[in-house]
Each structure stands twice: as C-alpha cells, then as structure tokens.
Amino acid sequence: MNKNDIVGIDLVGFPFNKKYPPDFKRYGSKYHGYKNDVNETFFYDFAVQGYDLRFRYKGKMYYALTESDHVAVCDEHFTNEYQVFKNGNDLIENWIIEGRTLLDIIDECEDVESM
C-alpha cells in the first residue's frame, strides 16, 4: 500500500487524509479536525495512521485490519481476510454492508474503535 496516495503532511509536519481532510475551521482540533470521534477513527486513525478497526452497525460487529500493502475485512481475531482493498479510503468507499457503502453508513456506526 502506498501511503503517499492518501496521506499528506501539513505545514506543521502532521499527517492527514488527502481525500478526506480535516476541517479545523469548522470542527476545531478536538477530533483532529473531524466532526466527531467516529469520523476521526475512520478517516484518520484507520486510513492515515494504519490502526486496525472495529465497529458495530445494526447490532453486528465488523472488523478491518491494516497490512503493509493492503487493508482487509477480517474476522474478530484479525487473522482471516475476507475482502481486500488497496488502502483505508478504498475500503471506506467500497466495502458494501447491507447494500450500502461504509462511507454512506459511517454516521450510523456505533462502538467504533481503532486498535
């Protein structure tokens, strides 16, 4: 996975998501410039920092892991990969859950945690 495709470096030297950048003017710095902790976890912790991810949607838990060359939908032990994506943004945009992309349902996700 080429992190340069999605990760930029701001003027102070901090990494940020190029496609889904923070908006410090609108949201302040509490969630790294995102509107809430859910968006921060998906767009910053997972896509930029490369942390693994878990979240609940409509009562079901979902898991995603980050490897050096890809990210993947996986099991609760982060061992079996079920669907592979080129990077965190690609997973967020293209993982279909109950007929909708993760991007479309992000604000409906609960218990979102980077690991």
Contact yes or no for 46/65 (Cβ under 8 A): no
pLDDT for position 1: 53
CA distance 78 to 76: 6
Q: Enter the DSSP assignment of 43.
A: I
* Mean pLDDT over the full length of the chain: 95
pLDDT band at 5 (very low <50, low <70, confident <90, very high): confident
Token pair for 24: 């410090």
Residue 35 clears pLDDT 60, i.e. is over it: yes
With a pLDDT cut of 70, the percent of the chain lying above it is 97
Whether the predicted model's global pTM rises above the 0.85 cut = yes
